[in-house]
Amino acid sequence: MTDNGSSRTLRDVVCPFCGLGCDDLTVAAQGRTLTVREGVCPISEVAFSAHPEEDRPRTDGQEASLDQALARAAEVLRPARRPLVAGLGTDGAGIRSALRLADRIGAGVDHLHGAAGMRNTAVVQTTGWITTTLAEARNRADLWILAGSDVGRRYPRFFERIARPSETLFEPPPNQRPIVFIGPETAAANLPADDRIERIPCAEDRIGEVFAALRALEAGRPLFEAEPGGVPAERLRALAERLPRARYGVIAWDAGELDFPGGDLAVEAITGLIDQLNAHTRWAGLPLGGRDGATTFGQACTWQTGFPGRVDLGPGYPRHAPHQLEAGRFAAEEADAVLWISAFDAGRLPPDTEAPTVVLGRSAMAPEREPTAYIPVGVPGLDHGGQAYRMDGVMALPLARLRESDLPSTADAIAGIEQRL
Ligand code: SF4
């Protein structure tokens, strides 16, 4: 850290905003204003600099002290018979505290990216899968397939850090590693200009058909369609012939973008192809995701309940309820109180509900319906330290405190509610 009067330069800062976990940012801090100077991307540029001013707690629409807001939150949650604890976009300590509170009040639990998580979980639970880590993929992948994901927009430094780094431990050199993108043209437009990236246009909701066809071809079976998933069969045949020749192939997808009926079947088609290819050579999957603490939540929820998400603690024991616990539906139809947490992103708003709602949100959050209690909390990695898992789930990264703040962390706010229950 360099201290220059009231302005400081912070180096090797971890970015908690998209799941890639870049840990090489240089950030200038001037009072509460943060500016990413090096390692910047369109997401971090906005996320670090947004809302430097601190918000005030509110109860029933009126400005309140923190103590009053915590007491009002406890009043909402104490008598609830079917509460919901959701959002959970925060750091490891905050998530663990929220799960502890959910257990105490018998709540249903869902992360704000629960739908994406369940698409992957459904496949892990039924067939299992073979996946890799960011470091393995970065160093070893000699053939990449990007399955539908708008990587360039959702993980802006993916190419620089993972698929096209400046150096790797093993051959071939990074800039000679072929990448095949299969997906919509809108996402293809966000790929870097690179003649080693082949683009195969395909509608998002037909990705599963394309990978089912690749599975058939890889198994030596005929195709009965001229254009499976809208892709000419000849093009898929040519790709299928290349797959077994890779020494370490990686297929990356983002379940958050497979948001259509049968999205989990698209994941299953991808992971099934990976299974088949491992009979000949080495292939692995790389499930992209992890924004808003999604991977941290999956890890902590699994440790504490045995399930990776959408768990009902109401019965007095954890019950996995992947459909019933969808937060939007549960909040609208079943919940009699809601605790919503989004500490990274003020734009992630609580679900619409008639039930009294407690919001622990990033400063400047503006829910459409005024919460019964609103408590602005610090942003993990900006206002307070903590830990967050990056998307591959093998690495908990340390988040630093970059500026002075009076805002409580999520964990502190929840501890304050618990004391008043
Ligand atoms: S790519 Fe993701 S982790 Fe890296 S700087 Fe951008 S938002 Fe942060």
Could you tell me the CATH number of the domain that includes residue 254? 3.40.228.10
**Is 399 close to ligand 1, i.e. is its CB under 6 Å away?**
no
Q: Do 191 and 105 have their domain in common?
A: no
Q: Do 138 and 281 have their domain in common?
A: yes
Choosing from 243, 266, 288, the residue where a domain stops is 288
Residue whose CB lies within 8 A of the most ligand 1 atoms, among 15, 24, 35, for a mutation test: 15
Q: Could you tell me which residues come within 8 angstroms of residue 7 by beta carbon, excluding any fewer than 6 positions away? A: 28, 29, 30
**Is 20 close to ligand 1, i.e. is its CB under 6 Å away?**
yes
The string of DSSP letters for 67-103 reads HHHHHHHHHHHTT-SSEEEEEEES-HHHHHHHHHHHH
Choosing from 262, 288, 314, the residue where a domain stops is 288
Whole-number Å distance, alpha carbon 25 to ligand 1 midpoint, is 9
Q: Do 315 and 411 have their domain in common?
A: yes
Whole-number Å distance, alpha carbon 255 to ligand 1 midpoint, is 18
Q: Which residue in the block uniquely carries the two structure tokens 């459904």?
A: 122
Chain-centre distance for alpha carbon 131: 17
Q: Do 105 and 122 have their domain in common?
A: no
CATH, residue 84: 3.40.50.740
Q: What is the pLDDT along the chain (421 residues), one digit of tens a residue?
A: 444 457 899 999 999 999 999 999 999 999 999 999 999 999 999 999 998 899 999 999 999 999 999 999 999 999 999 999 999 999 999 999 999 999 999 999 999 999 999 999 999 999 999 999 999 999 999 999 999 989 999 999 999 999 999 999 988 888 889 999 999 999 999 999 998 999 999 999 999 999 999 999 999 999 999 999 999 999 999 999 999 999 999 999 999 999 999 999 999 999 999 999 999 999 999 999 999 999 999 999 999 999 999 999 999 999 999 999 999 999 999 999 999 999 999 999 999 999 999 999 999 999 999 999 999 999 999 999 999 999 999 989 999 999 999 999 999 999 999 999 9
Q: Do 142 and 45 have their domain in common?
A: no
Burial level of 16, CB count in 10 A (0-12/13-18/19+)? buried
Query: Which pTM does this prediction carry?
Result: 0.95
Choosing from 258, 288, 318, the residue where a domain stops is 288
- Number of domains comprising the chain: 3
Chain-centre distance for alpha carbon 412: 23
Residue 410, SS3?
helix
Which ligand 1 atom is the nearest neighbour of the CA of 156? 1
Q: Do 313 and 224 have their domain in common?
A: no
The string of DSSP letters for 34-80 reads EEEEES--HHHHHHHHS--SPP--EETTEE--HHHHHHHHHHHHTT-
Q: Could you tell me which residues come within 8 angstroms of residue 245 by beta carbon, excluding any fewer than 6 positions away? A: 281
Q: Do 67 and 193 have their domain in common?
A: no
Alpha-carbon gap, residue 405 to 31, rounded angstroms: 10
Q: Do 100 and 175 have their domain in common?
A: no
**Is 156 close to ligand 1, i.e. is its CB under 6 Å away?**
yes
Q: Do 125 and 231 have their domain in common?
A: yes
Q: Do 141 and 232 have their domain in common?
A: yes
Whole-number Å distance, alpha carbon 313 to ligand 1 midpoint, is 34
Q: Do 182 and 297 have their domain in common?
A: no
Q: Do 20 and 83 have their domain in common?
A: no
Domain boundaries, position 77: 58-113+292-420
